[in-house]
Amino acid sequence: MTVINKSMGTPAVGRSIDDSPSISADLPSGEAVSELVCFVIDDDLAIQRLIAGQLSAAGAKAETYKSAEAALKGLRKIRPHLVFLDGSLEGSDAVEVMRGLSAAGFRGKVQLVSGQDEQTLHGLELVGTRHGLAMLPPLRKPFRISAIRDLIKNNISELMREAPPKFAEVKSNYQKVRLEEALQNNWIQLWYQPKINLQQMTPCGVEGLARCVHPVMGLVMPGMFLPNADEASMLKLAQRQLIAALRDWPAFAAAGFASFKMSVNMSVATLFKLPIAQIAREYSPKDSRWPGMTIEITEDQAINDIHLIHEIAIQLKLYKLSIAIDDFGAGYAQFARLKEFPFSELKLDRSLVSKCDEDPQVASLARTAIELAHRFGTTAVAEGIEKASEAKVLRSMGCDEGQGFLFAPAVQRDKLIAAMRKRLAGTAPVGV
């Protein structure tokens, strides 16, 4: 079996989009991965053998399944990097598989391989994207044998760079981690993902994201401890995140990043009930260089209580806190109502970012959202950027900022600061 080493990207600071910039080159790479593991989910045995044979020739391991049920059971034992998925399966279909992958927190890539018409394939691809899956361009049957080899060759570095976690093996345990328990035991940490100025290709801010570091299971992602959390725990989580971010800014300032504006996520219900103004008075840095902080709320929530949010936004502005509209494009809000309160950022949902480099419809929606943000006098921020080509297109559209795995995942504060300092000093090695 061919051994393939895990690689990281190239740094964002001082490099062009064409160089596939990534701060993650300076971050810990984690456990090494020795081989590419693929699922082939197709009820046509001939297609199964064909794809599996090409994967084997490319040095990858293939696991074959005929139904959604069998494939999802396979996730309990094996963590694939890539899933080849047919539209119609034995007693099931691709949608069932994608729902299962999403529920399990799958982090690899999905390659649709189907004889369905282009409209249906596009619909299936959209379903996968809405479930948070990384969808590769569909491959229509019949296809050339070389297409599988080319697919592996063109995506191997990216596939191996972000090896999926062993979610299936510990999923039942993850479900036992309650937010209340995690807060009581201080397992919750605030990790940071950098935001990149797309026009200058330099870090310009950070978003704080909650992570649970369990003493036995290790890193547990939000999808495994936030669902079904009670209201009191969510309030406590938001308060801790806000205070932690305010306290962390001096560390970024001391490292030379005083201009960085930090942001945290919060539900509208929490925004209404948390004494944010009081917290800001007590914990905000007294340093005159402090640029303030941003609180991100989702588009659909913002529209529901727009007048009360406007009142809160005006109050928070007194303390250098602003509100951003998160996941814009997922809820399709009434554009006219957005001008009714002062938000500082419009964050494009991943559905407007993924494939904007190759899908004209997605590109058109992304451009419209960016132009809308600018008409409102606010910053346009693209979320979930995974490819250099996506960043390049967004930059050409005038998008101001971006974040995503192309640049770096969320990591602990000190690790991110160390990585960015190396980039600014020009002492870090160039990533693969």
Enumerate the CATH 3.40.50.2300 domain ranges in the chain, comma separated.
34-162
Residue 17 predicted with pLDDT over 80: no
Are 302 and 268 spatial neighbours (Cβ–Cβ below 8 Å)?
A: yes
Select the more confidently predicted residue: 269 or 299.
269
Question: Which candidate, 393, 340, 398, places its Cα nearest to that of 370?
Answer: 398
Given this model, what pLDDT does residue 331 score? 53
Residue pLDDT, tens place only, 201-215: 999 999 999 999 888
Given this model, what pLDDT does residue 431 score? 31
Are 428 and 25 spatial neighbours (Cβ–Cβ below 8 Å)?
A: yes
Question: Which candidate, 134, 191, 199, places its Cα nearest to that of 380?
Answer: 199
Residue 298 predicted with pLDDT over 90: no
Task: Say whether 262 sits in a helix, a strand or coil.
Answer: strand
d(CA 188, CA 348): 27
Confidence of residue 102 (pLDDT cuts 50, 70, 90): confident
Longest dimension (CA), the chain: 68
Enumerate the CATH 3.20.20.450 domain ranges in the chain, comma separated.
173-425
Task: Say whether 355 sits in a helix, a strand or coil.
Answer: coil
Given this model, what pLDDT does residue 33 score? 36
DSSP state, 164? P
Question: Which candidate, 246, 165, 257, places its Cα nearest to that of 208?
Answer: 246
Residue pLDDT, tens place only, 158-170: 776 654 444 434 4
Are 295 and 276 spatial neighbours (Cβ–Cβ below 8 Å)?
A: yes
CATH number for the domain formed by residue range(s) 34-162: 3.40.50.2300
Given this model, what pLDDT does residue 176 score? 62
DSSP state, 19? G
Are 411 and 27 spatial neighbours (Cβ–Cβ below 8 Å)?
A: yes
Confidence of residue 219 (pLDDT cuts 50, 70, 90): confident
d(CA 382, CA 370): 9
Q: 188-197 and 139-140: which strand pairing?
A: unpaired
> What is the distance, to the nearest Å, from the Cα of residue 250 to the centroid of all Cα atoms in its chain?
26
Q: According to the CATH classification, is domain 173-425 in 3.50.50.60? A: no
d(CA 329, CA 296): 15
Q: What is the pTM assigned to this prediction? A: 0.66
